[in-house]
Amino acid sequence: MAIISIGLSHRTAPVALRERLAFTPEEMPGALTALRERFGGGVILSTCNRMEAYVSAAGGESQDDLAGAILRLKGFPADEAQPGFGRLTGMHAVRHLYRVAAGIDSMVIGESQIAGQVRDAMLAAEEQGALDPTLRRLFHSAVGVGRRARHETAIGRETVSVSSTAVQLVRRLLGDLSTLTVLLVSAGEAGKLAARHIQEFGANRLLVTNRSPERAQELVANLGGRAIPFAELGDALSEADVVLSSSAAEHYLIDRAVVEAALHRRGERPLLFIDIAVPRDVDPAVAELPGVHLYDIDAIQAIAEENLKTRSGEVDKVERIVEEETTRFAEWWRAREVIPTIAALRTRAEEIREAELARTLARLPGLGEEDRRRIEAMSAAMMKRLLHDPIATLRRRKGSRYVEALQELFNLPGNAAREADADPGGPPEPQ
């Protein structure tokens, strides 16, 4: 068995490709079911900046098999050139996931949302029965790495996120927000974070619209502003100076036609769009209109790189945590290879001990109960002493050469590796 992963992120692919491979919440159950049926299990981590899939390939499946499965799920034509997925196996895949969960592979280094997104990906796989024991161990430990990074370093100090960085971009472009009207399209988690930062920087008016009007009302009730029915989006565009969009819609919410109509009611006032959604909310053709400026999530990169400079020392500390936890996982991974062989050896020895003990006691019918217990205890102690050295050597050396030698010498079953996934051991449930 091997852990394999494929994926792409803001580092390797533009938003136009990332949005084609993003999995919506509605798509996720079917996709996870497909991975479970094809590979025995799987986890998909899909965020605004990355799409990654992880499986523990018990049947010798390859990274090409996993890449093909993902592309079919997303409807890529068979004759279309495949995107350049990053492909990782074994501890390279483990280390990468740990870096992601710790926030040091994010566009905004140290951003706080990714740890929850890793946890949500794990829980979604659990709900669909796609979280096999190996992936369960891997993702539980990844959540733990994220927790350690936040508690033991200052990587998450002065909490940052894509939403907060988007608001920084608005301030960089427009300066003082106190005379501006900001329209927020989406009342999800990213929208809530953006609304808080908009208010912190003193925007004159905050308008909120959402396809679910209840969520928009809830946000303005907590943070202020005015909820706008989604059907009145065009009117809201005519009022706004800045539009910050972060929905989970599968298609454009704001197209060229609706913006063009709003511009006729705006006079000469310019309109700034910050679209941090993946898939994108704003049709790129909007940027062709006079007086309109559009920035998508890839435009956040410059500010994110500045953020990295201020946190570089903390990144080194997090990297050390990642290496420690990768080593721990590697030790568990190697140990899982020997655990079934050790169990089989003990079972075989116990079968022999019990058979020989029964045969001996049958020849001594007049033996008292106390003496019978002493003989039984002596046989158990002898077996334990005899097995101690080979078991200790196997645990210490941990290699297929030793496993195979022990299986041959003691005529043990050779299917130990398949039984390893039954090992219930693992880190505690994340709190």
Structure tokens at 271: 């309109």
In degrees and rounded to multiples of 5, residue 271 shows phi and psi of -135, 125
Question: What is the CB neighbour count within 10 angstroms for residue 30?
Answer: 12
Exposed, middle or buried: residue 92 (CB in 10 Å: 0-12, 13-18, 19+)? middle
Q: Are 184 and 166 in contact (CB under 8 A)?
A: no
* Radius of gyration of the CA atoms of the chain, in A: 29
Q: Are 189 and 246 in contact (CB under 8 A)?
A: no
Q: How far apart are CA 169 and CA 160, in angstroms?
A: 13
Q: Which residues are catalytic?
A: 48
DSSP secondary structure string for all residues of 171-196: HHHH---TT-EEEEE--SHHHHHHHH
For Cα atoms 94, 96, 98, give the angle at the middle one, nearest 5 degrees: 70
In degrees and rounded to multiples of 5, residue 53 shows phi and psi of -125, 140
Exposed, middle or buried: residue 141 (CB in 10 Å: 0-12, 13-18, 19+)? buried
Q: Which of 246, 113, 236, 232 is nearest to 167 (CA)?
A: 246
